[in-house]
Structure 1
Amino acid sequence: MRAKGSKLNSLNHLHDPKFFLTFMLKWTLSIPSWTICCRALNKRSSNKIIEFKGVITNDTIRYLRGKHKKYTGPCMATNPIDRCWRCKENWAENRKRLALCGLGFGRKATGGDEGDYYLVTDNSDDDVLEPKPGTLRHAVIQNKPLWIIFAKDMHIKLSKELLVQSNKTIDGRGANVHIAHGCGITLQFVHNVIIHNIHIHHIIESQGGLIRDSEDHYGYRTVGDGDGISIFGSSNIWLDHISMSECQDGLIDVIQGSTALTISNCHFTHHDHVILLGASDTYSNDQYMQVTIAFNHFGKELIQRMPRCRWGFFHVVNNDYTHWKMYAIGGSTHPTIISEGNRYIAPDDPNTKEITNRNYAPESEWKNWVWKSEGDLYMNGAFFRTSGPPSPPNLDFNEKDVIKAKPATFVRRLTRFAGALDCKENVKC
C-alpha cells in the first residue's frame, strides 16, 4: 500500500501539471466546508426513524433482483468497497457505516449520515407540488440531511422527474425497490448524495411543468430527456449497487460542471447510450470533472458509451466489459482516460473489436489526448487504441481518490455482485 500522497506514476497522465493543480484549488475552494459531513460514526446527529404511519401500500411488484440472483452460497464481499460493510449480520442496525466505504473521486459523499432515518412507506407519486408524507418524493425534498430507507418492496412510478436535495442517502437495502416505467432521478446543483441498492429501468421522458424541489421552493421544469439518473452541476456523488437498463435517453448523464463522482458496483444491461460524462464540446468548465468508474459490470445488449467522456479526468478501473455493439469507451474534447485492470471481451463482429472511439477530431489532434490502458485484459480480439505522450508528467494523487487496480484476471470475482443486492435484515448481505 502506498503512503498517502505518494506518486502514482501509472495514473498521472494529465495534459499539463498546472491543469490538475488548478482543478484541485478551484474544486476545494468551491465547496463550502459545511458540505463535508463528519465521517465518524459516533458524531451523527440522530438515528431516529421518521415514519408516517397509516400509509403503507400493498401495491408492489416483485422483480428479479440482479445478475447474481442465482447465487446461493455464503456471503462474499469481493472488492474493497463491499468489504467495508457487507457480510455483517447487523448491517441493518448499522446502515450508516456505508458512508465510510466510498472510494475514488466520490469518496467524500456521506449522504444523510448526519441526519435521521426517513422510512418510505408509500409508493405513490400523485402530487409533485405537495408530496404526500411517507413518499420518496417527500423524503428527497427535505432541506435537512436524511438517510432514506424503505418499509417494504416497492415499485415506484415517478410522475415527474425526482429532484433530490443535498445531503441525502437513498438506501434500498432490505427491500426490492424499483424506480420504473415513469420519470427518472435528477441531482441539480446539489452536493453530498448517495444512491445505493435500487433498480432503475424503463424510464421515460418527463413532461415538465411545476415541480417542488425543496420544502420552500418549486419551479417550472422543461421536458426531461428520459435519463435514469441525471447529474447537473453537482459534486460529491456516489452511485453504488444500482441495476439499470432500458431508459429513454441515457442511463447516467453527468454534465455542466459536475465533479467528484464515483460509479461503483453497478450492473448495466439492455441500453444504447449508457454513461455520458460531459455533454458539450464547448462547455469548458467540464475540464474540472473527475469521475471514477469501478467494479461495474457492463452486460447484455449494451451498444456504446461505457462511458463517453469530454474534457475531464476519468479513472476506469476493474470493470467487466462483457458486451458492446459499437464501442466501449469514447470521447471528444481531449478527455484524460486511464483504463486499469479491466476485462474487455469483444463482440464477434470483426468491425467492433476496438474498445475506444474518438469523435470530432482528426488523428493529428487526438493522438495527443491522454488515453492509457494499463494491465487490462483483452479477449476475443478486443484492443484499446492508446494515445498521448509516452512519458506523461507525474502528479501527486491521494491514494483514496485513485483506486489501486487489482489484476484484470480478478475482475469477474470483483464484479460478481454488481447491481442491486438482495439484502434481508438479520442476514448477512
Structure 2
Amino acid sequence: MKVKVSAEEAELEGAMTALINATYTDAAPERQALHEDVIEKVERTKQLLQRWAQQGSGAIANNTGGDGGASAAGSCSPPRLSEISVVLNSVEGLLLQELASQAARQIDAASSALSACQAALADQQAASASQQTTNSLEDTGSYILEQAISLLQAASLSLNKLENLNVDSSANPTLIEPDLEFPSSDNTMVETEARRGGGGGGCRRDGTACQFSSCGRGKRLVMCAMGFAYGVTGGANGPTYIVTRSDDNPAHPQPGSLRYAVGLGGGSRGVWITFSNSMIIQLKSMLWIRSSTTVDGRGANITINGRMLVVGGVSNVILHNFQINSMGESDTIHVFAGSTKVWVDHITSFDAKLGLISVVQKATDVTISNCKLSNQNFNMLLGASDSDVVDKNMRVTVYRNWFKDSMQRMPHCRWGFCHVINNLYTNWGFYAIGGRVHARIFSESNAFVAGRRQEVTPWFPGASFTPNFDSSAQIYSYKDLLLNGTTFHQFGQPLSSVASSMAPPYRSNAAYPPLLPNIRALPNFIRSCSGAVFYPSQVNQCVRFAGLS
C-alpha cells in the first residue's frame, strides 16, 4: 500500500530537523570517529585484561608471599580484573546516550584501578627479583598493564575532545538536514544524513535497529519513530535527567528516583529520562507520565514491576527499551483520555491481570513497535468498549512486535483504524487479531505461526448465525505469511474494492513503517530484535541483522 505525499510533510520534516539541530552538526563525522576510537580502545583493553586473567594474574593469586604479593593478589586478582571489565562495559551504553562525561569518569576509574594493580605488581616483582621467569615480555603482567593503561589514557583524551565538540556544537549548531527517500513499492524506506550541498552519510531508518545505531544515538532516537506516532519528540527539547536510585516513594518522590524524574515532565520542553545503571524498580502506585517525556532505558537493564505506567490526557511521550511486568490488578501500560503522539518501543511485558498495552478512550496517533508481549490471556486492547464512539478517530500502528503465547487481543480493535504490520505471532489461543463496532484493521506482511489454534481471527464456522458475533469490523490480510496451517478469515468487502479506504492514513510517506524485504526472514529477525535490548551482543546482532553495521 502506498500513501500520497502530504502537503504537510515539508512542514513536519522541518520541525523535526529544527528539534534536533543541536545534534546534527558539521562536527558529526569527527564526533562519530571519536566515539568509534573510544569503543575500539576499550575493547582492546578488555581483551588484554582477559588475556592476563587467563595466563598472568593466576600466578599473582597463587604467589602471595610477603606484603607485595598480598597487595598484588588483591589489586590484580581475576575477580578484580572482572570488576574493571564490568566498569568498561558500561562505557558503550553511556556513549549511546551521549553521556561522554560519565563515560570518561568510568574510564578514569578503570585506569586508576589498573594503576593500583601496576604499583602492587611492581612491589611484588621487587620482592622476588631473584626469581627467574620463562614468560616473554609480551606475556608479563607489567607489559599488559602498561598497554592497557595507555589505551585507556588515549580513550580518555578522545572523550575530552568529544565533550568539547558537544559543547561547541550545542552553542553554535549547524544543521545537517535529513534527506528522505519516499517508500518504494515494498515500502522500504531509507534516510540518509547528508550535508547541505551534497554528500551522503549512510544513516538508515529501518524501524527496529535504528534505535541502537548511530542514527538514533541519544535524543536522535526521535528520528527512528514510525507509524502514527511519527513526529513524536518526547523530552528531546528538555534536559536529560539521570535516574540513580530504584526506590519509590509516591508521597514524597526522592531526587534520583524514576517517580521524581517523571514529575519533571510537562510544559513546553519536558524531560528526557535515562538511567545510571541497571535496576529493578518496584512501583508502589501507578506512575502517571506527563507530556513531553521520554523514558529511555538504553544502556542499562531496567525492569519496572508492581504498578502500571499511565499515559492519560497527555501528548508527546516516548517509552523505550525496558521491561514492565507483574501488574496484579491492571495493564502494564495504559494510554487513554485523549492522549496523542505516544511511541511505545522495544518494551518487554508479561504477567498482568487485565492485559499488557491498552489504547482507549479517545487516545490516538500511537505506535507500538518492537515489543515482546506475552501474557496468559489478554494482550493488547485498542478501544475499550462498544459504546466508546469517541474511539472512531483512534489511529494505532502495531509494528514488528512479537505476540507470544497469549490467548487473545493481539490486538483487539474497536471503532478506529489499526495498522498491524510486520509482526510475529506464535501459539495464540482463542484468536490473534479481532475487532468490533466498525473497526478497520489492515493486517500487512505479518508472520503467523499457528500452534494451539489455526484461525487468526475470532471467526468460526457458523459465526454469522451467532447473535453476539459482531461482523461490522473490516479485517483484511495483505501479503501475510501463514505458516503451520494458519488460516485468516477476512471481514468485509473484497480488499480490491475497498483498497482506498483501507490505506493507512499517515500524514506522510516517511511515516509508513518499512517492511523487511524478505518476509520469510521476519520470524528470526523479530526473535532477535524484539523487546528490551540490554546487552551489547544483542544490540550488535540486531544491527547486523538489519544491515546497519
Normalised by the size of structure 2, how large is the TM-score?
0.58
Is the 2:436–2:471 contact (alpha carbons within 8 Å) kept by the matching residues of 1?
A: no
- Partner residue in 2 for 1:71: none
Is the 2:464–2:471 contact (alpha carbons within 8 Å) kept by the matching residues of 1?
A: no
- Partner residue in 2 for 1:84: 210
Mapped partners of 2:224, 2:331: distance in 1: 27
- CA shift, 1:403, in A, is 2.4
1:104 to 190, 212, 227: 227
- Partner residue in 2 for 1:156: 281
- Partner residue in 2 for 1:66: none
Mapped partners of 2:387, 2:418: distance in 1: 19
Mapped partners of 1:87, 1:37: distance in 2: 19
- CA shift, 1:37, in A, is 6.8
Q: Does 1:42 align with 2:28?
A: no
Q: Does 1:285 align with 2:390?
A: yes
Is the 1:332–1:361 contact (alpha carbons within 8 Å) kept by the matching residues of 2?
A: no
Count of paired positions: 344
- CA shift, 1:196, in A, is 0.5
Q: How does 1:144-183 map to 2 (within 5 A)?
A: 144=267, 145-180=270-305, 182-183=306-307
2:420 to 311, 316, 328: 316
Deviations 1:71-109 (A, max 9, x none): xxxxxx998123434344x97xx4111111101011121
- CA shift, 1:5, in A, is 2.1
Is the 2:315–2:340 contact (alpha carbons within 8 Å) kept by the matching residues of 1?
A: yes
Q: Does 1:190 align with 2:314?
A: yes
1:419 to 517, 527, 531: 531
* Letter of the structure 1 residue corresponding to residue 219 of structure 2: K
Report which structure shows greater RCO (CA 8 Å, sep ≥6). Answer: 1
Q: How does 1:15-54 map to 2 (within 5 A)?
A: 40-43=19-22
Change (3 A) 1:353 1:166: same
2:258 to 131, 136, 153: 136
Identical aligned pairs, as a percentage? 36
- Partner residue in 1 for 2:436: 332
Is the 2:439–2:472 contact (alpha carbons within 8 Å) kept by the matching residues of 1?
A: no
Give the CA RMSD over aligned residues. Answer: 3.2
Is the 1:173–1:423 contact (alpha carbons within 8 Å) kept by the matching residues of 2?
A: no
Mapped partners of 1:252, 1:295: distance in 2: 15
Q: How does 1:238-387 map to 2 (within 5 A)?
A: 238-299=343-404, 301-347=405-451, 349=452, 352-357=453-458, 369-387=473-491
Give 3-state SS (helix, strand or coil) of 2:207's partner: helix
Normalised by the size of structure 1, how large is the TM-score?
0.73
Gaps of 5+ in 1: 7-24, 26-32, 52-76, 206-225
- Partner residue in 1 for 2:509: 399
Deviations 1:380-415 (A, max 9, x none): 221111021220152574323432544532312441
- CA shift, 1:361, in A, is 7.7
- CA shift, 1:422, in A, is 1.6
Deviations 1:291-338 (A, max 9, x none): 111111112x31111001100001111111112111101121121001
Mapped partners of 1:411, 1:282: distance in 2: 37
Give 3-state SS (helix, strand or coil) of 2:458's partner: strand
* Letter of the structure 2 residue corresponding to residue 324 of structure 1: W
Mapped partners of 1:378, 1:393: distance in 2: 21
Gaps of 5+ in 2: 24-96, 102-202, 544-549
Change (3 A) 1:100 1:337: same
Change (3 A) 1:256 1:132: same
Mapped partners of 1:80, 1:361: distance in 2: 41
Change (3 A) 1:39 1:257: farther
Change (3 A) 1:48 1:114: farther
- Where is the helix percentage greater, Structure 1 or Structure 2? 2
Mapped partners of 1:184, 1:164: distance in 2: 10
* Letter of the structure 2 residue corresponding to residue 330 of structure 1: G
Deviations 1:128-162 (A, max 9, x none): 13311111011112234111000111100000000
- CA shift, 1:3, in A, is 7.4
The structure whose Rg is larger is 2
Is the 1:366–1:387 contact (alpha carbons within 8 Å) kept by the matching residues of 2?
A: no
Deviations 1:5-30 (A, max 9, x none): 28xxxxxxxxxxxxxxxxxx9xxxxx
Change (3 A) 1:277 1:39: farther
* Letter of the structure 2 residue corresponding to residue 121 of structure 1: T
* Letter of the structure 1 residue corresponding to residue 322 of structure 2: I
Change (3 A) 1:236 1:85: same
